[in-house]
Structure formats: structure tokens, C-alpha cells
Amino acid sequence: MNIINIAWKGIKSDFRDTRTLFFMLAFPIVLMLVLGSALSNTFTTSLPVDDIHVFYTDTTTGENFQHFIAEVKKSEVHFKKVTDQAKAKKEVQQSKVDGYVEVSEKGIQLYLNNGNSIEGSIIQGMLSAYVDQYNIASEIMKVAPDKLATAFTSEKQANFIKETSLQPDKQPSSMDYYAIVITTMIILYGAMSASSLIVEERVRGTANRLIASPIRKSEIFIGKVLGSLVSNSLCALLVVQLSKLLFHANWGDHLGMIYMVLLTEIIFAVSFGIGISFVSKTSAAPKVIIMLFVQLSSFFGGAYFRIVNPDGAFKFITEISPLTWMNSGLTKLIYANDLSAAIPAISINLAGALLFLLVAVISLQRREGL
């Protein structure tokens, strides 16, 4: 019962502290919004292309090219007939239009500006397809003119080739990415409040009163750890739900496993904060050490910008950060449905938590008080 009462007191104290609530709830949401909006272009995998405008001259007698123009207009490629060829070429050279096409009985001549490489490639591809189809029609006319209509109007078989992507297009957007990395970062910041669980009792002079009360040191320790775990877990849960509600962040279909991974990080953060508080010689040292650790872990763990394919010494440094394993595991869990990706993150978190808890327990046993 003493453990529950101590834990409940810690929970109420945490949620009465407006500065802590702002930092654990409002700050990550604002940071998601700022970074997710400002760096959205770095997560774009496609390039937008505006309407394409092409000049052309047609000296042929047939209507084939006119049919082609009518069809490509549906794809926002607009052809405009001109009479001044020199002026049309100059317009292309000055990038006022995307291309110029000369159509004659001898063939098709295309003029492009190399500066508009994407638009030029689209025009070139469309014209190549048109020329290929025209050549096929010409050959059919030579050998079997009566088959021409059925050759291009009959139903086409469209399943000759089956495509399977080895790297699926399902990737996180900027808001999805920062919802993950900011959540894991703010959980790690929970070590700051955990480092004060025992230190504040010493600073306020209430540690001796607690020891003098009919409560064992183990009950005090377990109650404070339990209260901190519950407080940080509730904050993390609210951050995840707010990111889904406000930004429609994608947290995948395995929320139970995701919460399990986040819970192990909370256990690690609380254990880390308590362990550092016991080995530090001054009351101010734990927060300095934790702040330095969290900032470096966040920087090299991809919390502020996405790190893609690091190599050499930089790869080694990024792999030291616990947030690297957390973010990688959660991303694979959400976007690749790889449940096994959560195992390294869970293992590292629990192993680190056990180490720092042992440090705290051994230090507590050696002390006469808290």
C-alpha cells in the first residue's frame, strides 16, 4: 500500500507541474508541426510537372497527327500550331515553350531546350510512341489493309508482365517521420524528471523524514519509479494520440507492439535518470549529463533531420544512439509490418534499464539514507 501511495503522489505532482506538462505534451506537438511542415520537401519522392506547351507545324495531308494532339491533350500536353518556324525555335531556346515539332511527309523533327529536361523527356516519349504506332500501321497497310481497324481497336491483353516492387512506395511523409522521432526523443527527456525523484527529497530536506517514517527504502524507491513510469507512459500515449488526431500521423496497424516498444524506452529513460542521479556527486550534475546525452542521441538518432545510409565513423556514432534503434524499429514495424524489428529496440532498452537500475539499487543500499 505504501508503494501505491508514493506512486500516486508522484503522479499527481507531475501533472500539477505546468512546466513539465507543457514540455512533455505541447512542446513535442509544436516541434512535429514545425519540422514536419518546414522539411516536407525532403520527403517528397515525386516531382510535380505543370502543363506542357508545344508549338508545331504540320505539312502532311492526313489527320493522324491531329488525332494524336487530341489524345495527349487529356494528359495536359497542349499543342499550338504556328507558321513562323524560326520564331518557334527561338521561343524554345528562351524556354517560353517546352518544345517545337515539325511534322512533314519525311518524318517528325523535335526541338527541345535542355534546360527543361523533364518536360522534354515527356514530349520525346510521347512522340516516340506515336511514331512507333504510325510505323506499325504503315506496315499493316502494305500487307493487310483490311486488318488495320481491328489491329488498333481490339481489346488488348494487359497482364503480360507482373510487377513486384522490392522497395515498396509506402514511405513515411515528413509528418509521419517526425511523429515517430519526436515522440521517442521526448520520452528520452523523461530521464530529466526521473533524475529528480530522489535528489529533490534530499534538496528539500524531506529525505530524512521519509527514512524516519515506517516505510522501507525499497518501498520508497519502487513507489517513485512506478509513479514516474505511469506519468511518462500517459504523456507518451497522449503525444501519440494527438499526433494521430491533429496531423493524421501514420502509426500503423500494430499499436499494441508500438506501445510495447515505447514502454520499454520509458523504462530505460526512467532507469537512466535514476541511475545517473545516484552516481553524480552534486544535485545539478544529473540534469547536465542527461541533457548532453539526450541532445547527442537525438542529433545522431535522426530526431532533427533524417539520416540516410551513413557510413564509416559516422555510421558507428549513429548506431550508439538508442534513438537510432528505436526509430528504425518503429519505422520497420509501421511501414514494413516487420514485427521482428522491434526486438533489438526492446532488448537494448531493457538491458540498459537493468544496468542503471542495478547501479541505483546498489548505491541505495550503500547509503544510510536516500
304 and 352 inside one domain: yes
Q: What CATH number is associated with residue 144? A: 3.40.190.10
More confident residue, 117 or 67: 67
The pLDDT of 188-212, averaged and rounded, is 78
37 and 57 inside one domain: no
103 and 235 inside one domain: no
What grid cell was written down for 242? 494527438
Write out the E strands in the chain.
52-58, 77-81, 99-104, 107-112
Q: What is the pLDDT of residues 79-94, one digit of tens each?
A: 888 888 888 888 888 8
The pLDDT of 33-50, averaged and rounded, is 72
Report yes or no on 163 lying in a domain.
no
236 and 203 inside one domain: yes
Report yes or no on 72 lying in a domain.
yes
Report yes or no on 29 lying in a domain.
yes
26 and 132 inside one domain: no
The pLDDT of 46-61, averaged and rounded, is 77
The pLDDT of 218-236, averaged and rounded, is 89
Tell me the pLDDT band of 148, cut-offs 50, 70 and 90. Answer: low
More confident residue, 315 or 261: 261
268 and 309 inside one domain: yes
Number of domains in the chain: 2
For cell 505546468, name the residue: 18
Q: What is the pLDDT of residues 155-180, one digit of tens each?
A: 555 454 555 544 455 678 888 999 99
Q: Which amino acid would we find at residue 144?
A: A
Q: What angle do CA 107, 120, 101 make, to 5 degrees?
A: 30
Instruction: Give pLDDT, residue 51.
Output: 80
Nearest to 151 by CA among 143, 162, 142, 140: 140
Instruction: Give pLDDT, residue 166.
Output: 45
Last residue of some domain: 153, 186, 205?
153
The pLDDT of 140-152, averaged and rounded, is 61
94 and 111 inside one domain: yes
Instruction: Give pLDDT, residue 167.
Output: 47
Last residue of some domain: 86, 118, 153?
153
Say what the alpha-carbon torsion angle 140, 142, 143, 146 is, to the nearest 10 degrees.
Answer: 60
93 and 117 inside one domain: yes
Domain carrying residue 340: 2-43+175-366
Report yes or no on 272 lying in a domain.
yes
Report yes or no on 165 lying in a domain.
no
250 and 330 inside one domain: yes
Tell me the pLDDT band of 351, cut-offs 50, 70 and 90. Answer: very high
Nearest to 218 by CA among 45, 16, 362: 362
Instruction: Give pLDDT, residue 370.
Output: 60
pTM flag (> 0.75) = no
Instruction: Give pLDDT, residue 164.
Output: 52
* Measured distance CA(142)–CA(298) in Å, rounded: 70
Report yes or no on 91 lying in a domain.
yes
Report yes or no on 132 lying in a domain.
yes
146 and 225 inside one domain: no
Instruction: Give pLDDT, residue 352.
Output: 93
256 and 307 inside one domain: yes
Report DSSP letters for 67-107, one per residue: HHHHHHGGGTEEEEE-S-HHHHHHHHHTTSSSEEEEEETTE
Report yes or no on 169 lying in a domain.
no
123 and 270 inside one domain: no
pLDDT at 197 over 70: yes
